[in-house]
């Protein structure tokens, strides 16, 4: 029996021995009833401790590969089919001298949207809130909690929404979810049996389309303009389960849904016995004017409000919340009970403490100022680097912006060329559910997670890629030279 032990490997000696004996058995090199060396003898031959061999043998016995017979040693078990499994070589420990000599790779600047600057997470204040919450909770906090979530947090969120958004709701209508993704998934599953359609904004996030489609609901895209969903284009004969909308800051184009269209959505929902799912994913980060009123306020019986905290604090805190109409609370909680029983409770207590002490609003105020400066810096860098015509779309809010480059078509060839310059941008056409033709010159640039230096570097690379490609053509990419 040939076994090779590498003492310089990161793989533990027990695991190396176990893997090699198992491989010899499955490969047919060790036959049924064949006797293995004693633990003492094998340990001596390999230069390892007897306890290591004993632990490896015991693991193989537990999994049925070996049999330990008292007085006659350890033998290979019978009834094991032979098939070949490639034996991986043990991983070598890192050679620091090689690592130090390796040339550093050029850093890719990724303008991905929806990513916050987690480096500014108020860790010290969060630790204090967590500790204070543990000092206050009773023994009952260590048992199961209501499916709707910790009542203390639901009350805190209700007070917070009234204070910051003027949104009136009762704690009993609030349910805590493990992030907005779970909230959307459970709402979609709630209507699964009805086999209805869902109306969605077009363009919108591809990820949410996949979440809804997993519940076997069909999607119908409703076009969006600079003021959000074009409600006049909704076919009156449709009877959707719900209508998904981002009225405070349309994703990704950035429009705000006016009151006239909001009222039309409410009237449509009432007429068709449908619901409106309001995704309020980044309303805290509005850089011009006052916060936009919620759709929920117009008709709490027809609007499901979806809020998230990952876009404010950190995606590591997987907590969001839904405000449900009375009619949906019981069936929703029944569904959530068989999904995860309840969302993780200790973080809910800490978050309640964090909000009640004013730390969340302090952090939002701080991040609004920083994100405003980053947005302004990005626009300034575009103006500095790109001599041709471009336009910033949408309202000054959120964690990204949409830029229209007049005369530029962001097809696969151009995107690949931009990627080769170590910068990543995202064509709006990738977010379109239906007709992509109107968005071929638009890209999405997420900036919240990037430093000012990274924004400058990324925009410089992007503009160089566009201009270099332009110079290779016989005609310029833009017919105008005036910069907006």
For residues 211 and 188, give the distance between their C-alpha atoms in angstroms, rounded to a whole number.
8
Are residue 456 and residue 311 in the same domain, yes or no?
no
Contacts for 259-266: CB closer than 8 Å, 24+ residues apart: 261/227, 261/228, 261/229, 261/230, 261/231, 262/295, 262/298, 263/298, 264/231, 264/232, 265/229, 265/231, 265/295, 266/295, 266/298, 266/299, 266/302, 266/303
For residues 76 and 378, give the distance between their C-alpha atoms in angstroms, rounded to a whole number.
67
Classified as helix, coil or strand, 220 is strand
Tell me if 103 is assigned to some domain: no
Give DSSP secondary structure letters for 34-69: PBPPPHHHHHHHHTS-HHHHHHHHHHHHHTTSEEEE
CATH code for the domain in which residue 162 is found: 3.40.640.10
Helix, strand, coil shares of the chain as percentages rounded to 5? 45, 15, 40
For residues 83 and 80, give the distance between their C-alpha atoms in angstroms, rounded to a whole number.
9
Give the CA count within 13 Å in the CB-facing half-sphere of 325.
19
Are residue 169 and residue 248 in the same domain, yes or no?
yes
pTM for this predicted structure: 0.78
Tell me if 251 is assigned to some domain: yes
Q: What pLDDT sits at residue 349?
A: 93
Give strand ranges (E) for 303-369: 303-308, 320-323
CATH code for the domain in which residue 448 is found: 3.90.1150.10
Are residue 40 and residue 139 in the same domain, yes or no?
no
DSSP-derived letter for residue 118 is G
Are residue 48 and residue 131 in the same domain, yes or no?
no
Rg (CA), the chain: 29
Are residue 172 and residue 30 in the same domain, yes or no?
no
User: Burial level of 285, CB count in 10 A (0-12/13-18/19+)?
Assistant: buried
pLDDT tens sequence across 86-97: 555 555 444 333
CATH code for the domain in which residue 29 is found: 1.10.10.10
Q: Which domain holds residue 77?
A: 13-97
What H or E segment, with its residue span, contains residue 222? strand 218-225
What H or E segment, with its residue span, contains residue 326? helix 326-340
pLDDT tens sequence across 258-268: 999 999 999 99
Number of independent structural domains in the chain: 3
Are residue 261 and residue 394 in the same domain, yes or no?
no
Tell me if 389 is assigned to some domain: yes
Are residue 144 and residue 206 in the same domain, yes or no?
yes
Tell me if 484 is assigned to some domain: no
pLDDT tens string, the chain, 484 residues long: the values are 678 888 888 888 888 898 888 888 888 888 888 898 888 888 888 888 999 999 999 888 888 889 987 777 899 888 888 765 555 555 544 433 333 334 345 689 999 998 888 888 999 999 999 999 888 887 777 878 888 999 999 999 999 999 888 899 999 999 999 888 889 999 999 987 666 899 999 999 988 899 988 888 889 999 999 999 999 999 888 889 999 999 998 999 989 999 999 999 999 999 999 999 999 877 777 766 567 789 999 999 999 999 988 778 888 888 999 999 999 999 999 998 888 878 888 999 999 999 999 999 999 999 999 999 999 999 999 999 998 889 999 887 778 999 999 999 999 999 999 999 999 999 999 999 888 888 999 999 999 999 999 999 999 999 999 987 765 554 444 333 334 3
Are residue 292 and residue 312 in the same domain, yes or no?
yes
């Amino acid at each position: 029996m040939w076994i090779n032990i590498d003492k310089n490997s990161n793989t533990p000696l027990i695991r190396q021995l176990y893997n090699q004996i198992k491989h010899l058995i499955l490969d047919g090199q060790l036959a049924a009833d064949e006797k293995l060396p004693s633990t003492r003898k094998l340990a001596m031959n390999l230069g390892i401790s007897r306890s290591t061999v004993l632990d490896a043998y015991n693991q193989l016995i537990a999994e049925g590969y070996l049999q330990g017979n008292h007085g006659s040693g350890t033998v290979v078990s019978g009834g094991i089919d032979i098939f070949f499994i490639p034996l991986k070589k043990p991983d070598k420990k890192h050679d620091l001298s090689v690592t130090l000599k390796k040339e550093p790779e050029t850093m890719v600047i990724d303008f991905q949207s929806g990513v916050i600057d987690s480096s500014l997470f108020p860790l010290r204040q969060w630790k204090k809130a967590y500790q204070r919450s543990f000092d206050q909770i009773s023994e009952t906090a260590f048992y199961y909690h209501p499916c709707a979530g910790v009542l203390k947090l639901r009350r805190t969120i209700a007070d917070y929404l009234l204070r910051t958004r003027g949104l009136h709701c009762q704690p009993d209508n609030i349910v805590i979810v493990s992030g907005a993704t779970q909230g959307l998934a459970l709402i979609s599953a709630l209507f699964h049996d009805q086999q209805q359609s869902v109306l969605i904004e077009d363009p919108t996030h591809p990820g949410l389309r996949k979440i809804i489609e997993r519940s076997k609901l069909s999607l119908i895209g409703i076009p969006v303009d600079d003021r959000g969903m074009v409600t006049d284009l909704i076919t009156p004969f449709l009877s959707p389960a719900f209508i998904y909308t981002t009225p405070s800051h349309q994703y990704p184009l950035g429009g705000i849904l006016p009151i006239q269209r909001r009222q039309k959505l409410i009237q449509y929902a009432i007429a068709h016995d449908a619901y409106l799912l309001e995704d309020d994913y980044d309303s805290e980060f509005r850089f011009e004017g006052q916060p936009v009123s919620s759709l929920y306020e117009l008709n709490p019986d027809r609007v499901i409000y979806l809020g998230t905290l990952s876009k404010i604090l950190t995606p590591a805190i997987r907590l969001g919340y839904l405000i449900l109409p009375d009619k949906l609370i019981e069936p929703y909680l029944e569904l959530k009970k068989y999904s995860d029983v309840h969302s993780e409770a200790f973080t809910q207590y800490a978050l309640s403490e964090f909000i009640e002490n004013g730390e969340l609003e302090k952090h939002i105020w701080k991040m609004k100022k920083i994100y405003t400066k980053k947005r302004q810096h990005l626009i300034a860098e575009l103006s500095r680097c790109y001599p041709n015509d471009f336009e910033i779309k949408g309202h000054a809010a959120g964690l990204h912006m949409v830029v229209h480059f007049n005369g530029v078509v962001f097809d696969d060839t151009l995107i690949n060329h931009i990627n080769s310059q170590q910068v990543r941008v995202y064509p709006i056409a990738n977010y379109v559910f239906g007709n992509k033709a109107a968005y071929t010159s638009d890209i999405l640039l997420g900036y919240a997670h990037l430093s000012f230096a990274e924004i400058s570097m990324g925009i410089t690379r992007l503009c160089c890629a566009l201009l270099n490609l332009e110079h290779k053509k016989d005609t310029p990419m833009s017919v105008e030279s005036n910069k907006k």
